[in-house]
Structures are given as structure tokens and as C-alpha cells.
Amino acid sequence: MSMVTEILISTLLVISGVFGLIGSFGLLKLRDAMQRLHAPTKATTIGVGAALIASALNTWLIAGQVTWHEVMVSVFLFITAPLSALYLAKSHIATTVDRSKIPPTATKAPWAELRRVPKG
């Protein structure tokens, strides 16, 4: 029994490491800032998720306790990751991006980041 759980936990840890590595490799390989923003938000999600499941299984099956901390970590991750990605993208749009490549909105209203704010 403990052999099986140990193999399961080690497999999850290896998966987590591999996806973390792929996410970091994406940072090296991809070319512009927006593409590089994809690598850590996506591939790393599964990496962190696998590490959290391994940690939960370890405390549950080996230490014999049930903790909810892993669930909380993943909830906080799902709340903060989209926000930090959104603000990185917004600051990128505000500063360096080629604005002629950004499509117009569906209505007449401008994109929030490109609208002209009156000075003063």
C-alpha cells in the first residue's frame, strides 16, 4: 500500500517538475512579450496543481491528516494569476505594443487602456 502511494506521489512530483521546466523553457523560446506571458500562466498551472495534489496526498495517506491548505493555495492561484496576467498585458499595451495590430472593439467604445483621458 505505502509503495503504491509513494509511486503515485513521486509520479505527480515528476509531472509537476516537467511542466514547470516546460513553462520556463517557453520563456526562453518564445519571441515577444505577449507570447512569453502565455508560457508561465498555462504550463505552470498544471505543474503547481500536480505538486499541490502530491502534497495533499502525502499529508493524507502518509501523515494521516486531512488539510485544506492545498485547496486554498489553488483557489488563491486561480484568483491572482488572471489578474497579474491582465495587468502585465495592460502595461504592455500602454507602453510598447504596436497599436496598429490591435483590432477595434465591437462597439464604438475604445479599449480601456487606449482611451484618451483628459489631462488635468
Partner 1 sequence: MQKLFPHPYLSATLLLTWVLLMNSIGPGAVLMGGFLGVVIPLLTAPYWPEHAAMKHPLRLVAYIGLVLGDVVVSSIQVAAIILFKPVDQIQSAWICVPIDLPSPEAQALLAGTITMTPGTLTADFAADGKSLLIHSLHAPDPDAVCAEIKSRYEARLKRIFT
How far are the Cα atoms of 51, 69, 76 from residue 64, in angstroms, in the given order? 18, 15, 25
Distance CA 63, CA 77 (A): 25
Indicate whether 14 belongs to the interface with partner 1 (CB under 8 A): no
> Which element (helix H / strand E) includes 33?
helix 33-57
Which residue in 7, 17, 29, 62 binds partner 1 (CB under 8 A)? 29
CA distance 44 to 17: 9
Q: How many residues bind partner 1 (CB under 8 A)?
A: 51
**Minimum CB distance to partner 1, residue 35 (Å):** 5
Residues that bind partner 1 (CB under 8 A): 19, 22-23, 25-26, 29-32, 34-35, 37-39, 41-43, 45-46, 49, 67-69, 71-72, 75, 78-79, 81-83, 85-86, 89-90, 92-93, 101-107, 109-115
